[in-house]
Amino acid sequence: MTALTQAMKQTRRHFLQSAASSLVLPVLIDGYGAKAFARPSSFIQSLLGLADQNDRVLVIIQLQGGNDGLNTVIPLDQMGVYTSPGFRGNIAISEAKALKLKNYAGTGLHPAMTGMQQLFNDGKLSIVQGVSYPTPNFSHFRASDIWMTAVDADKTSASGWTGRYLDKRFPGYPNSYPTGKMPDPPALQIGYVTSTALLGPTDAMTIVLQNPDTFARLVGETPKDPLSTIPGYAGRQIEYIRQQQASSVRYAGQIKTAAGLGMNRAKYPDKNALGDQLKIIARLISGGLQTKVYYLTMGGFDNHANQVVATDTSTGTHANLLKILSDAVLAFQNDLTQLKVDDRVVGMTFSEFGRRAISNGSLGTDHGTSAPMFVFGNAIKSPLVGRNPNLSDLNNNNLKMQTDFRQVYAAILTDWLQTDADTETATLFKDFPVAPVFRQTVTALEPVVSDARLYPNPASAGVVLESEWLRQGVKSVQVTDLQGRFLSVQTSRPTPTTLQFTVANLPAGSYVLRVETAPGMLTKRMVVVH
Amino acid sequence: MALLDAYLKPLTADQVTFLLRRATFGPTAGQVREFTGQTASDILKKMLADQPAPNPPLDSATGKSFHDQPFDVVNAGKFTGYIKNWWANLMLNQPVSLLEKMTLFWSNHFVVTDVAVNDYRYVYQYNALLRHHALRNFKAFTIAITQDPAMLRFLNGNQNVAGTANENYARELQELFTIGRNGGYTEDDVRAAAKVLTGWTDTGYRSPASAAIGSTFRANRHDTSDKTFSPAYQNAVVKGRSGANAGIDELNDLLTIILRQAETPRYICRKLYRWFVNSDIPAEVETNFIQPLADLFQKGNFEIKPVLTALFQSQHFYDESLRGAVIKSPVDLVVGTFRFWGLQAPDAVANPTAFYQIGNYIYGRVKEQQQDLLNPPTVFGWTAYHQTGYYQQWINSTTLGLRGSFGDMVTTGALKLNGKPAVDVLAYVKNLSDPSDPARLVDELTGQLLAILPTQPQKDFLTDTILLGSIPRYEWTLEWNDYVRSPNVAAKKQAVQMKLTAFLQYIFRMAEFQVM
């Protein structure tokens, strides 16, 4: 593609995106920042599909072990509960030490996360609060599998969400690849064992570089830690096999070429293994590798004991981990900016679960449920999705969920990778409302559509939305509470012009129903009483 | 230490594993337990015990044998495939015995390729001949293989007649089958031997009318002159003969001459050494191992069992520096992996479909990894046993990929053979001494799977990084116990199964897994 046509496509894409945005109706929300937008209509989606979008990249950082969300993102609006002795007084971060966030006085970051504070204040980091899924699992392995395969807690799948997405995007991989259009691996993981998230329906959709040393050997640089050598005959054979293995990494030539063309401009922190890996990724992206997904893993978050130092809770194991993460991500983002590829890259972190709201007696925390996710990059539109977890409203000492993790995946797939709705649904096994990470926060009331009726209202068990527009089919359904949290409700279609919601499980309160149909958006306020 | 002296101590589990990996297509964990504590001498008696001749391959469509029928040109390709699949299954189902690995050794020694011979009945008979003689007498074996119809065709012995000798077999008999290219024989010796061998031909080749195949000696095509050999053979003369027994009598004389040369048993013993022990033969091993083994072979009238017994119970064989010196051949890798996990081919009569499904899967893998059964690339055999680099010849970026994907395939449980997952990781791990302890699990698993035992830091890495993904070890214990309590809850099962699968796939791709 010539530079000119590339530029034309860019322009076309930007036009289409802003066109899509302008069609979206703002929705009622209070001042907390979590906002819902309609998914662009299929018409707009098909227009978007015309533009060549193969330059967008996703970087996934898995935080293994269950990151303690409550000591990562600090609920400055509830410090009384948070620091109380019966809650997590032994490990709480003090208000004085917590890092402040621009425009969001009620929320802070762990003091080790100066890098991510800077990104947040620059509008390049989104914190999605309270992410989990219904009936959360407390097993590391099972919970990781749920997150990576994107299934309901009572379902299993042998393929991962990213793998399914890539399989749809690059059908026939690996047998029919490389192609002229896709000469590079769909995904590149740095790690020892292929992540479940990257398993496609039949094949792993990734190539795996074991560690930065493997990369170094591959591109002809000196590895930092040469493998321990085995003496004698066996050593000779093993050395030979290892050498063959390094040179036979699939796509070795492509990776070498990209590494040769690419570079790093920013300074990365020393002794930061995550930074070392992100540095490779920045180099490969800047070198033109067309890989869509990069996957990294950082371990060590399972801190049942001594996650803080008793004398200074802002230090200790957890602080060290967060510093590594935050410093590495900042350096990476700076590098992308200086390399002028920052518009093409978005990163996200996830962990299999958060930790118990109430700390244990060993200066640690046990397995919990919901926790914040981070999404970073220039494309961020909502710095904060959702609100601080309500520390006075726990479920068995666990934080309640606000956003299903698959809503964040839906945001990545739809708004970032710009998959069509069918692919997104197939990838996530069902349709999820999109978390507004990449959509502008608005606070205005949406004009109420007059030809729709909602009854009974207030409701306690079921409520029916009636509109002629429903005849042409329902594209998406969203129910949010006044904090902007998405809620999952069951729906049915008793007649062609009605949509029935089961609200018996919703807590009493006010909600907004938003139903997208072909003619337009139906939006109604609903009150639930019990 | 005299290298060939017998190692008399009871064998440890590691030594038993080593012995069975090298001398057979690999043990199961149960076989290792069974033989641990026995001496090499005891175990070898079992490994060399006579085995009944296997039932011939059957046509799965009819359930009938086809090697003893007239040639069927339509089904020739299918029948050739059956023979290869059938042989793969013999290797898989072999009890603790040297027989099939020696049969494979001889197919790499007295090479015949099915492609050149192009009559599946010949190929079957050739393979049966290798098996029949594999552990018997080398001289009788060589006499038999010289008259084998497949060999007569493959090396043109059937075209070798008085007046217009074809020297092909006479040359390879010396260069490859007996004395070796360093035996000092001359071109005149090749010509003389060719004359000795005149008159033989095969019968029944691709005959659609006759089930009988074989070979015959045509006295009228035999060169009846005296054959005089060079000083390399002490100017020996094979007296020219005529009549029906001339061919066999002169062949017998010729082999007597060749086998009495000092180099002949050394050459065979070196080949055995490279097949079973190590490709490198330093001077010390040549002098103190190959030479005495060759002496034993020659003094024992070329009986094969005593040589194998001496080799596998020698002190040298258990020298730890030889661990991992051999890169697994594709057959070692594929058959060995399946044997380790307890996969067996079912009875061919009762379940022909599954029988051939398994044999065909194994055969497909070893073929793509460059070890086509009954079809070595040249008359020299597979390059891994004679060319510079030796076993490293098995390894290149393509075969490494295929080896890796084989491991991936068998560990996911997706590969179903005979209706069951080929490798049941959970069933296997459940039988370890304490699968709830991840360090012990890794210790035992690597001990059973890897010839080169990992160091403690490597084991810690395998446990903490590969198996557990940096989650603390006690979490595994909780997860495992959870699964054991509710083995039928899919989520709990998957939680541990996916970890174990990923772990095994990593192990299977380790360089250390490729050696034995």
* Predicted pLDDT of residue A368: 95
The answer to whether position A28 is within a domain reads no
Neighbours of A103 (CB within 10 A): 11
List beta partners, residue B202. Answer: B215
Q: Are residues A402 and A497 in the same domain?
A: no
> If you average pLDDT over residues A97-109, what whole number do you get?
94
Q: How many residues does chain B have?
A: 516
Which of B465, B499, B502 lies at the smallest CB-CB distance from A194?
A: B502
- Residue A455: Cβ-neighbour burial (10 angstroms; 0-12, 13-18, 19+): exposed
CA closest to B452 among chain A residues? A234
Residue that terminates a domain, selected from A410, A438, A466: A438
CB B322 within 8 A of CB A233: yes
Domain range summary for chain B, segments of one domain joined by +: 138-261, 426-514
The answer to whether position A164 is within a domain reads yes
Residue ranges of chain B whose pLDDT lies below 50? 1
- Residue B87: Cβ-neighbour burial (10 angstroms; 0-12, 13-18, 19+): buried
DSSP classification of residue A31: T
The token pair that represents B79 in the structure block: 């029948």
Q: Which of B226, B215, B303, B313 is nearest to B265 (CA)?
A: B303
Residues of A in contact with B485 (CB under 8 A): none
Our CA-based measurement puts residue A193 at a distance from the nearest CA of chain B, in whole angstroms, of 6
ipTM over 0.85: yes
Distances (CA, A) of B380 to B136, B287, B375, B400: 23, 25, 11, 24
Q: Are residues A159 and A59 in the same domain?
A: yes
* Predicted pLDDT of residue A458: 87
Residue that terminates a domain, selected from A389, A405, A438: A438
Q: Does A137 touch chain B (CB under 8 A)?
A: yes
The answer to whether position A17 is within a domain reads no
**3-state SS class at A471:** helix
Q: Does A227 touch chain B (CB under 8 A)?
A: no
Q: Are residues A341 and A395 in the same domain?
A: yes
Q: Does B469 touch chain A (CB under 8 A)?
A: yes
Q: Place A447 in a pLDDT band, splitting at 50, 70 and 90.
A: very low
Name residues 258-287 of chain B within 8 A of A (Cβ).
278, 280
The answer to whether position A150 is within a domain reads yes
How confident is the model over A318-338, as pLDDT tens digits?
Answer: 999 999 999 999 999 999 999
User: Are B498 and A145 within 8 A, CB to CB?
Assistant: yes
Q: Are residues A376 and A318 in the same domain?
A: yes
User: Are B324 and A230 within 8 A, CB to CB?
Assistant: yes
> If you average pLDDT over residues A145-154, what whole number do you get?
93
Q: Are residues A425 and A377 in the same domain?
A: yes
The token pair that represents A128 in the structure block: 């999605």
DSSP classification of residue A395: B
Give the total number of structural domains in chain A. Answer: 2
Q: Are residues A348 and A432 in the same domain?
A: yes
Full domain range(s) for residue A317: 49-173+298-438
User: Are B455 and A228 within 8 A, CB to CB?
Assistant: yes
Q: Does B393 touch chain A (CB under 8 A)?
A: no
Distance CA B432, CA B439 (A): 12
CA closest to B328 among chain A residues? A237
Q: Are residues A486 and A347 in the same domain?
A: no
Q: How many residues does chain A have?
A: 530
Q: Are residues A325 and A433 in the same domain?
A: yes
CA closest to B502 among chain A residues? A193
Does the structure show a pLDDT above 60 at A2? no
* CATH number of the structural domain spanning residue A508: 2.60.40.10
User: DSSP letters along B261-298, please?
Assistant: STHHHHHHHHHHHHHHT-S---HHHIIIIIHHHHHHHH
The answer to whether position A472 is within a domain reads yes
Residue that terminates a domain, selected from A375, A405, A438: A438
Q: Does B498 touch chain A (CB under 8 A)?
A: yes
The answer to whether position A352 is within a domain reads yes
Q: Are residues A380 and A453 in the same domain?
A: no
Average pLDDT value over all residues in chain A: 83
Does the structure show a pLDDT above 80 at A15? no
CA closest to B323 among chain A residues? A234
Does the structure show a pLDDT above 90 at A486? no
* Predicted pLDDT of residue A24: 29
* Predicted pLDDT of residue A174: 84
> If you average pLDDT over residues A223-244, what whole number do you get?
76
Residues of B in contact with A228 (CB under 8 A): 455, 458
| Ramachandran class of A58: left when φ > 0, alpha when ψ lies in -120 to 50, beta otherwise | beta
CB A320 within 8 A of CB A307: no
Cα distance between the two ends of chain B: 24
Choose between A269 and A195: higher pLDDT. A269
% of residues, chain A, pLDDT over 90: 50
* Predicted pLDDT of residue B318: 97
Q: Are residues A362 and A477 in the same domain?
A: no
Distances (CA, A) of B183 to A99, A480, B263, B509: 84, 90, 6, 42
What residues contact residue B201 under an 8 Å CB cut-off, 6+ apart?
B152, B157, B158, B215, B216, B218, B221
Distance CA A166, CA A199 (A): 9
Residues of B in contact with A230 (CB under 8 A): 324, 452
* Predicted pLDDT of residue B14: 94
**Strand A187-190 versus strand A293-298 pairing type:** parallel
Residues of A in contact with B477 (CB under 8 A): none
- Residue B160: Cβ-neighbour burial (10 angstroms; 0-12, 13-18, 19+): buried
Our CA-based measurement puts residue A301 at a distance from the nearest CA of chain B, in whole angstroms, of 8
How confident is the model over A38-71, as pLDDT tens digits?
Answer: 333 343 344 344 334 458 999 999 999 999 999 9
* Predicted pLDDT of residue A44: 38
CA closest to A196 among chain B residues? B498
Distance CA A36, CA A20 (A): 14
Of A26-40, A85-99, A163-177, the poorest mean pLDDT is in: A26-40
Which of A158, A233, A244 lies at the smallest CB-CB distance from B395?
A: A244
The answer to whether position A147 is within a domain reads yes
Neighbours of A36 (CB within 10 A): 25
How confident is the model over A198-232, as pLDDT tens digits?
Answer: 998 888 898 888 777 777 777 777 655 445 567 89
The answer to whether position A160 is within a domain reads yes
Q: Are residues A470 and A406 in the same domain?
A: no
Q: Rounded to the nearest 10 degrees, how much is the dihedral formed by the CA atoms of A220, A224, A230, A233?
A: 10
Q: Are residues A466 and A346 in the same domain?
A: no
